[in-house]
Amino acid sequence: MNSRAATAFVFVLLTWVAGTTVVSGAGLTELAPWLVRFTGGLKGVYTPVEGRPLAWSLSWSQSKGTERSGEVTVTGPDLALRVALNFNATGNRLSWRVIEGRVDLAAWLPALATRPELAEALQGMAATGALVITGEGAVKGEEVTGLLSVAWADGTLSNAEQGWTLEGVNICVRGDMAELTKGCVPVEVDVRTISTGRFGARNLSIKARLNDGDRVEVQSVRVEIAGGEVTAEPFAVSLESRKVGVDLAMSRVGLQDLIVFAPTTLSEARGRINGRLRLDWSPVDGVQVGVGELTLDKSEPTMLRLVSTPGFLTKQVPVRLVLFPKLGPLKWLFAPKNPSYPTLKEIELGKLGMRMDALEVRLTPEGDASGRSASVYIRARPEREGGSVREVIFKVNVAGPLAEVLRIGMQQNLSVQTR
């Protein structure tokens, strides 16, 4: 999935939902003193998006002793909100209850994308499902009580141009009104499946809290990917800068789904890896890989097969073994063929796979003591046993941009252990 677009959408959605939640609570606190002082009604029209006017109204009944009732409504294309009000003069208490609250995201998402400040984040996105608003509570003086919830249940979100789809999307903003009016908004996100042109994932779960309307504090992130699990350490995101920095932990992630990130090196891989990785994202720089370590999970066999690259291995070893170099030109008469050469040739052409016994990847984008931005160590043996090659060891050191680590062999050392 395009991380920039997906992250931007989450920011926009959190802002929209949280803004609705906070204003609902804070607005009641400020408006309660004068709402109950008139009889009759108010109405008007608000147009957040061209062609989608929203009619709003506030009505109050005549006094019935110490009780009065009223209603706030907002209606328009694919949107309906009705809040019942009740005022008790004896206790100076205004109670409220949402009797209808629904926003059709399928219609409103493309409409909101026409707004200049949202166009980049929402361009090309399509959604199904609706935001459902529920809640009730009361206002008495400065005291606000009750619960409010804004939920999107079992929806979908996709971008055909960028080639990704989220299915089974559930986002819930639910909290105590006393906290919501202070700008503290709990948010829970669950996504059943994530599909992209490069990889898939499922069971994404995020728990976060929006503070003061512009800062998201993420308590936990968990997602299943490639048969394993990825979790994140707690982190914070500023909605103003939209920069994200997160430390990830990977457990038993399948290599078979990760080779899409190294298409010029590996044609096939099976097995699982563990590790830790730092990722940073910003609208300007996109995704940046930080410090990390990856190791082999020993719970199941690991196999890899190289993309056909003639000479990748065989250029490191001689075709024939010179036994008597002092014989000059005659030395080739007593130079038998290197028994490891045919096996290495099969490996480099992708005809013979290798069983991996060890994998160590270290990422240091700022450079380690030796100036390396990455180092890779692989110890493997041919999957066909009984040949002349017992073990092949790759050592890859990357001193330049970290992206080069995906191109195994740029500065590699190779050792071959024969039988």
pLDDT per residue as tens digits for the range 165-221: 999 999 999 888 888 877 788 999 999 999 987 778 999 999 999 887 778 899 999
Residues 295 and 382 in one domain: yes
Q: Cα–Cα distance between 346 and 165 in angstroms, integer? A: 40
Task: Tell me the range of 1-5, 139-143, 163-167, 195-199 where mean pLDDT is highest.
Answer: 163-167
Range of the domain at 279: 243-419
Q: Judge if 306 and 332 occupy the same domain.
A: yes
Q: Are 28 and 135 in contact (CB under 8 A)?
A: no
Which among 166, 400, 376 is positioned nearest to 273, based on CA atoms? 376
Give the pLDDT mean for 362-388.
84
Contact assessment for residue 70 and residue 87, using Cβ atoms and an 8 Å cutoff: yes
Q: Where are the beta strands (DSSP E) in 297-353?
A: 302-306
Read off the pTM: 0.76
State whether 323 and 419 are in the same domain: yes
Domain count, the chain: 2
Q: Are residues 250 and 228 in the same domain?
A: no
Pick the last residue of a domain from 222, 242, 262: 242
Question: 225, 242, 259: which is the final residue of a domain?
Answer: 242
* Residue given tokens 């994200």 in the structure block: 244
Residue 320 has pLDDT above 80, yes or no: no
